Amino acid sequence: MNKLKSFKILPNYNSVGECVKDLIYMAFATFIIAFAVYFFMEPSNTAISSVSALAIVLANVLPLTVSQLTFIMNILLLIVGFALFGSEFGFKTIYTSLLLPVFLGVFENVYPNNLSLTNDAFLDVILYVCLVSLGCALLFNDNASSGGMDIVAKVLNKYFHLELGQGMALAGILIACSTIFFYDAKSVILSLFGTYINGIVLDHFIFGQNIKKRVCIITEKEELIRNYILHELHSGATIYQAIGAYDMVARQEIICIVTKQEYQKLMRYVEEVDPKAFVTVYTVSEIRYIPKLIKDKPLHAKDKIA
């Protein structure tokens, strides 16, 4: 009963136009995924890390189409997901999960003889991975998902304590290996290869665009660089006292998180004001914080570069 109360069907939209725009956006992303499944994965006799892939395998033994099997499995997974996780599965997941088999069904009726568009199974796999990763990234950026494997990964995480990425990989490997019962060894190898590449490309599409740099600067020009970060880059920073083990002299260490573009600007400025500064740089794929409003303040006279 608590889950029923916490289950929120519709997201908050400010207007009908915003709702329609979001529905079209998610439909477009789902269309890309369905296109990749029907025109590239299915003709290549591979099964790559998705519910649709499992549907392709099961269609060899069940008197149902891929779209019908995808629909049935997505419904079952949505029921399981709602029963176990409640409000985590709202309108967007339901919408995309049901829309995917609809698009597949349209393709099956409009273009029933889905022969390979490239006549090359390897190229089919590459194109499938690129298109599916693009579609999933579009959904991810809209706080949506295609459901299916996401729910499987969450179940594995809940009951077997596997990380979500590991759960997705395990499910993908099992689906890929299942092709051995209906196709040849080449299909298994391509399915495993596609599953691996799909994970890499999806990480790039989803997380690669949000990569930032964690810059640590030990400098004697702490105030100059701090003001530049605050008022020119409009970013935040944390300052620590660092003591060198050799001379035991205390210096200030500035730590900040910046974008790739801001990183280039910051490095040029540091080189200009303190060429002897000690700088270390780390790649950051995710940060969580509450942004603070930094008011623009003019630099003090003593801060200006001579």
Chunk the chain into consecutive blocks of 10 residues (it has 306) and report each block's average pLDDT, rounded to whole numbers: 44 81 94 96 93 94 96 92 71 89 96 89 94 87 78 81 77 92 93 89 69 90 92 89 86 89 90 92 78 52 40
155 and 23, same domain (yes or no):
yes
42 and 183, same domain (yes or no):
yes
Q: Could you give the number of structural domains in the chain?
A: 2
Q: Is 216 exposed, middle or buried (0-12, 13-18, 19+ CB in 10 A)?
A: middle
Query: What is the predicted pLDDT for the residue at 250?
Result: 86
Query: What is the predicted pLDDT for the residue at 298?
Result: 47
Query: What is the predicted pLDDT for the residue at 305?
Result: 39
CA distance to 35, 43, 128, 172, per residue, from 124 (Å): 12, 8, 6, 18
Separation between Cα atoms, residue 117 and residue 49, nearest integer Å: 21
Q: Is residue 5 part of a domain?
A: no
Q: Is residue 7 part of a domain?
A: no
Query: What is the predicted pLDDT for the residue at 93?
Result: 84
- CB atoms near residue 29 (< 10 Å): 23
146 and 219, same domain (yes or no):
no
Query: What is the predicted pLDDT for the residue at 162?
Result: 77
Which residues 6+ apart lie within 8 Å of 233 measured at CB?
256, 258, 262, 265, 266
Question: Which residue, 181, 209, 237, sits at the end of a domain?
Answer: 209
Separation between Cα atoms, residue 128 and residue 92, nearest integer Å: 23
Query: What is the predicted pLDDT for the residue at 188?
Result: 94
Question: Which residue, 187, 209, 231, sits at the end of a domain?
Answer: 209
158 and 227, same domain (yes or no):
no
Is residue 206 a contact partner of residue 137, using CB atoms and an 8 Å limit? Answer: yes
82 and 132, same domain (yes or no):
yes
Q: Is residue 6 part of a domain?
A: no
Query: What is the predicted pLDDT for the residue at 302?
Result: 41
75 and 169, same domain (yes or no):
yes
Q: Is residue 2 part of a domain?
A: no
160 and 266, same domain (yes or no):
no
Query: What is the predicted pLDDT for the residue at 15?
Result: 83
Task: Give the sheet arrangement for strand 212-219, strand by strand.
Answer: 238-243, 250-258, 212-219, 278-284
Question: Which residue, 188, 209, 230, sits at the end of a domain?
Answer: 209
Closest CA to 36 of 64, 73, 66, 3: 66
191 and 297, same domain (yes or no):
no
Closest CA to 132 of 176, 197, 76, 198: 198
Q: Is residue 276 part of a domain?
A: yes
Domain coverage including residue 34: 14-209
DSSP run (H or E) holding 241: strand 238-243
Q: Is residue 280 part of a domain?
A: yes
CATH number of the domain within which 224 lies: 3.30.70.260
